[in-house]
Amino acid sequence: MTDFKRISPEQAQALRSQGGVVVDIRDTHSYANGHIAGSSHLDNHSLPDFIAAADLDQPLIVTCYHGHSSQSAAAYLAHQGFSDVYSLDGGFELWRQTYPDQVETGEPT
């Protein structure tokens, strides 16, 4: 049994409107060139601080390029104590096609 669920962009958008948090695990350059509006960049350096500061009960949506790597990351985060973790099917590429108005650019903060 997996500790995360796979969801479509439409389901992810609904979760976002209910306070779900989106984390993007792609490389910094890809994130800067375009990411889901309001998402946070998550990498090995920012991961410990993110986990320490996070609300473990808040829905967490993990995205990558095409929805493959995010599954491993989502499983890892579920094992770190997050109770409601999702992997975005199709990743950022499908999100960009589905919600082009919900994409922004810029370096991670």
Active-site residue list:
64
Dihedral sign (CA 42, 87, 65, 79): positive
Location of structure tokens 């792609």? 26
